[in-house]
Amino acid sequence: MWSIIATWSFSLQCVEKGETILKSGGRALDAAEMGVRLVESDPAVDCVGRGGYLNADGELALDAAVMCGDTLKTGAVACVRGFEHPVSIARAVMEKTKHSILVGPYAEAFARQIGFAEAPPEYMITETARRKYEEEKRRRGKPSGHDTIGCLALDDAGSLCVATSTCGSNLRLPGRVGDTPIIGSGFYVQSGVGGAAATGLGEDIMRTCCSFRAVDLMRGGMSAQEAADTVVFTAHNTLRQCGLKPDCIALIVIDARGNCAGASNHKGFVYACARPGESPRIVSVDPVIDKDEQED
């Protein structure tokens, strides 16, 4: 039985799109990719695709990935400029090459070569994004403002797939890559077992390999909710034990039957989900970390 879940409230449109594909018998990979494409095109979403935060050089460089849980094949791109749909380039990396990740100008050349239309900076970089960049630069604050769309979809044939996309944080160092295109950290799926996708500070999520851990815990018998809670709680505490101040870490998880869950170490995390008999809705997540232990 199909099911779909995605990070943050802006992903409601992604889940609604995915639902229409899945309930008419479509494939999980199409549902996740098509849903994420909508968010990539939405200039009002400031952390994904068009209208996203700029790096320290004032460029919009995007990261995205897809993974097929039947084959464990994955495709990802990092620091791609001038294309509206990095998630589709990531899918092409998975389907048309023997590789997993292409980066920067090489990923852009690949996209051009296989016929993706280029999107000029005047289209990709909105006035709002440029204004936020100038304001942050004046404040000379630490890079701030970041989120990711991660979408996990299960189709009626039992295939689990994931698609992710982000621009990373405002004023990030050019060339910086977070967890979003990194298998095992930002995403992981295995059909028959489960899937996970992360959002939050990529450096912390990569240090703790959150997504693979969640899937492995479900393989060992945990429910989606237990796996999500355990991974976020352990990641947070591991970082603290190592002397770090954990930033935001949030995870969405789906099991092989389509049960969905979310976990976070900070307040305010929400996800969107849908399955047969349950129309697309937003679910709020209570933090797994006590209030006085949450970082500001």
Task: Please list the active-site residues.
Answer: 148
Q: Which two tokens stand for residue 184?
A: 């095992």
Q: Considering only the stretches 85-93, 129-137, 176-184, 280-288, report the one whose residues sit in contact with ligand ASP under the rule CB under 6 A.
A: 176-184
Question: Residues binding ligand ASP: what is the number (CB under 6 A)?
Answer: 13
Decide: is 52 part of the binding site for ligand ASP (CB under 6 A). no
Nearer to ligand ASP, 195 or 200 (CB): 200
Residues of this chain, 237-276, that bind ligand ASP according to CB under 6 A = none
Nearer to ligand ASP, 113 or 284 (CB): 284
Decide: is 155 part of the binding site for ligand ASP (CB under 6 A). no
Nearer to ligand ASP, 21 or 201 (CB): 201
What's the Cα-to-Cα distance from 269 to each of 6, 7, 213, 282, 284, rounded to whole Å? 12, 8, 20, 10, 6
| Ordered DSSP codes for 144-174 | -----EEEEEE-TT--EEEEEEE--STTPPT
Decide: is 148 part of the binding site for ligand ASP (CB under 6 A). yes
Q: What minimum distance in Å lies between the beta carbon of 23 and ligand ASP?
A: 28
Decide: is 200 part of the binding site for ligand ASP (CB under 6 A). yes
Decide: is 184 part of the binding site for ligand ASP (CB under 6 A). no
End-to-end CA distance of the chain: 40
Q: What minimum distance in Å lies between the beta carbon of 180 and ligand ASP?
A: 5
Nearer to ligand ASP, 219 or 270 (CB): 270
What φ, ψ does residue 182 adopt, rounded to 5°? -105, 115
Strand locations in the chain, DSSP E? 3-7, 62-68, 73-80, 101-103, 149-154, 160-166, 187-190, 194-200, 249-255, 260-264, 270-275, 278-284
Pairing label, strands 101-103, 73-80: parallel
CA atoms within 13 A on the CB side of 21: 22
Decide: is 201 part of the binding site for ligand ASP (CB under 6 A). yes
Decide: is 40 part of the binding site for ligand ASP (CB under 6 A). no
Q: Which two tokens stand for residue 130?
A: 């440029």
Decide: is 74 part of the binding site for ligand ASP (CB under 6 A). no
Nearer to ligand ASP, 148 or 191 (CB): 148
CA dist 244 and 148 (Å) reads 22
Residues that bind ligand ASP (CB under 6 A): 146-148, 166, 168, 178-180, 199-202, 205
